[in-house]
Amino acid sequence: MTDNAAPPVALVLFGGNGDLATRMLLPSLYFLERDGLLPANVIILLAARSIGQGEAVVAQVREHLDRFVAAEFFDEAAWSRFAARLDGLALDATCAADFAPLARKLTVANEQIFYLATSPALYGPICRNLRDAGLAGAGSRVVLEKPIGHDLASSRTINQAVAAAFEEAAIFRVDHYLGKETVQNLLALRFANFLFEPLWSARGIEHVQITVSETVGVEGRWSYYDASGAMRDMLQNHMLQLLCLVAMEAPVSMAPDAVRDEKLKVLRSLKPIRGRDVAAKTVRGQYAAGAIDGRPVPGYAQEIGAQEAGGGESMTETFVALKAEIDNWRWAGVPFYLRTGKRLPTRYSEIFIQFRPVPHSIFTTPADAGLAANKLIIRLQPQETIRLMVMNKVPGLDQAGIRLHELPLDLSRTEADRKQRQRIAYERLLLDVINNVATLFVRRDEVEAAWAWADDILAGWRASGQPPRSYVAGSWGPSAAIALAERSGHSWHE
Ligand code: BG6
């Protein structure tokens, strides 16, 4: 095993051979090992219904890493250290008796982290079994993935079941967007600079756009996705979390509850979208067959899994655009446009902040034709870039006097940084769970406030009886989404 100067910390991955564990969690843990960030006393136990032990599980994990870690980043010495931490345990998460061998294995550990990379339907049963096996006391924490429910009522049921075993301070709810490098950089930009704060309100900002655009379809997850849709899969969680970080007041510190208290206030200030507003302020769409990068792709109703389930009739949205408003002093009157969809033309995630124009231009026509308001453009992916667009004089002499153009002040990673591997968001989050730091995790009241707001919109859609608008795969969604922004004199930044 490992150098055990400190008593071991056991990280138990339920769903240890599932998709999330093999594609994200194990590669992230391996990279923490490779980069010398994984404390020496951490041991990793993969728990799943059918999984090997000892050498067998080590061989399985090696196969996964060979698939999901690029050869250029693979280091055999790091792998040997990593392999020495691994073990497996076959267990049926719903069977209380199976938790006794788990408890026996964990007697060596001083702290236990239970990462539930399983279906949310198992969160309640696993937590109950952990509690009954005496594994949910002091020194234990539990990590949950989204979706926490599919509406407010079901999220409360899950949260309640987890709370029956673990204290809120020991519950880590993952929103992997909070682990992304540029998202944390947003906190640095806002709160480690004085420059932006005086302008960071309705006084200086005209509107905000948050876009998460994906080219992929439902990726073989039709049955999960069809019960969720873009609102539940992306908007209620990832996008509202981004909105919170843009809009929140300065927290008193980076302490978990200091940050989460401020995010919660934003969620509670979101103006409800109900009744007629649902049609006026939201647009939902579903992709039809089209082409991405010149390659034909099927429509949602023709995806694998759809036909078997009678998917031709599905009312599920794969695109949503909406205009959110925050009813508080700082943001009154500032639209926050949120847009996300599958099978859009390019993959990018971006926060776009449009400042107000100068109150009066001293540059005479036609020279001021180029005058534009400042913008701050934060790209989360595919590249991590931050650009502040500022006006500048076009160099040289011009008959018409001073001519203006817009230039970026580029705060993006340097060329040398860019050559480095882009970290997986889960690396940051796993490290924080191990270190027991919950700042980048979502508290129960946040999840429930986000559901309360999303539920009104979902109810409005249901009540309308209208299906989502169709859009051609490879387009920017239904044209109504363009009209949504244009009605207030805005256009989407693409
Ligand atoms: C997940 C959603 O939470 O986030 C997926 O379930 C989506 O549908 C994914 O594709 C997007 O994450 P990322 O990090 O690739 O932007």
Q: How many residues does the chain have?
A: 494
> Which residue segments constitute the domains of the chain, with CATH numbers given?
9-173 (3.40.50.720), 178-425+443-486 (3.30.360.10)
Q: Is 360 a catalytic site residue?
A: no
For residues 161-188, b (16+ Cβ closer than 10 Å) or e, as one string? Answer: ebeebbeeebbbbbbbbbbbebbbbbbe
pLDDT in tens, the chain (494 residues): 444 467 899 999 999 999 999 999 999 999 999 999 999 999 999 999 999 889 999 999 999 999 999 999 999 999 999 999 999 999 999 999 999 999 999 998 999 999 999 999 999 999 999 999 999 999 999 999 999 999 999 999 999 999 999 999 999 999 999 999 999 999 999 999 999 999 999 999 999 999 999 999 998 888 899 999 999 999 999 999 999 999 999 999 999 999 999 999 999 999 999 999 999 999 999 999 999 999 999 999 988 888 776 655 799 999 999 999 999 999 999 999 999 999 999 999 999 999 999 998 888 666 566 789 999 999 998 988 999 999 998 888 877 778 888 999 998 776 667 677 889 999 999 999 999 999 999 999 999 999 999 999 999 999 999 999 999 999 999 999 999 999 999 999 98
Predicted local distance difference test score (pLDDT) of residue 2: 44
Q: What pLDDT is stored for residue 369 in this prediction?
A: 64
- Which token pair is 388? 């502040």
Ligand 1 centroid – CA 336 distance (Å): 21
pTM of this structure = 0.95
DSSP state, residue 236: I
According to the model, what pLDDT value does residue 1 have? 42
pLDDT tens for each residue of 49-93: 999 889 999 999 999 999 999 999 999 999 999 999 999 999 999
**Residue 214 CB less than 6 A away from ligand 1:** yes
Q: Catalytic residue among 64, 176, 238, 360, which?
A: 238
Q: Cα–Cα–Cα angle for 425, 431, 432, nearest 5°?
A: 95
Would you say the CB of residue 111 lies under 6 angstroms from ligand 1? no
Radius of gyration of the chain (CA): 24
From the CA of 402, how far away is ligand 1's center (Å)? 46
Ligand 1 pocket mutation, candidates 23, 144, 176, criterion most atoms within 8 A of CB: 176
Q: How many helices (H) and strands (E) does the chain have?
A: 17, 17
Strands 282-288 and 469-472 come out as: parallel
Residue 418, pLDDT score: 67
**How far, in Å, CA of 195 to CA of 188, rounded?**
12
Q: Is the CB of 368 under 6 A from ligand 1?
A: no
Q: How far apart are the first and last CA of the chain?
A: 51
Task: Please tell me the predicted confidence (pLDDT) of residue 3.
Answer: 47
